[in-house]
Amino acid sequence: MRDEVQKLDPRVPVTTVRTEEDHLSVALVGLRIGTAIASAFGLLAFVLATTGVYSVMSHAVSRQTREMGIRMAIGARPRDVMRLTIKHGMTVVLVAMVFGLILTLSVTRLLRGALLGVSPTDLTTIVAIAMTLASAALVACYLPARRAARVDPVVALRSE
């Protein structure tokens, strides 16, 4: 390229010759770093949220051991205890997700400039994130619910 430019006009200095891709990668390095940091914080928030749901559900199940034992002693099946525990946990999660969706739709308008290739109200992205969060919360609720379903009624009633 230098030779061609020099043939056309020898007075034009040609110092740096780069491809368009190189120019774009230099121009977008700040945005890429910001995106990587935001992704890391998003992943951390996801892990903390899932751990929080698991912790709260584990605590609730441990506090209700006697109640679960009474339920099973009067005829509740382990499946019923699991269903009740998961329903309780997922109800709280779904209410929180509705509030989160409202907050997301209001905040994404402020971040419109930082979103490349995705609209702030992209339905596919929002549904994918909601399904991922709901799935993780379901697993986080399932593990304590399984423990609740294994409560021996006799042991639970004698514990207090």
pLDDT, position 116: 67
- What range does the domain containing 75 cover? 2-158
**Segment 20-49 mean pLDDT:** 85
Where does the pLDDT of residue 61 fall: very low under 50, low under 70, confident under 90, or very high at 90 and above?
confident
Q: Which residues of 125-157 are buried (b: 16+ CB within 10 A; e: fewer)?
A: eeeebbeebeebbeebbbebbebbbebebeebe
pLDDT, position 95: 95
Identify whether the C-beta of residue 69 lies closer than 8 Å to the C-beta of residue 155. Answer: yes
Q: For the chain, how big is the Rg over CA atoms in Å?
A: 28
Report the mean per-residue pLDDT for the chain. Answer: 84
Q: How many domains does the chain have?
A: 1
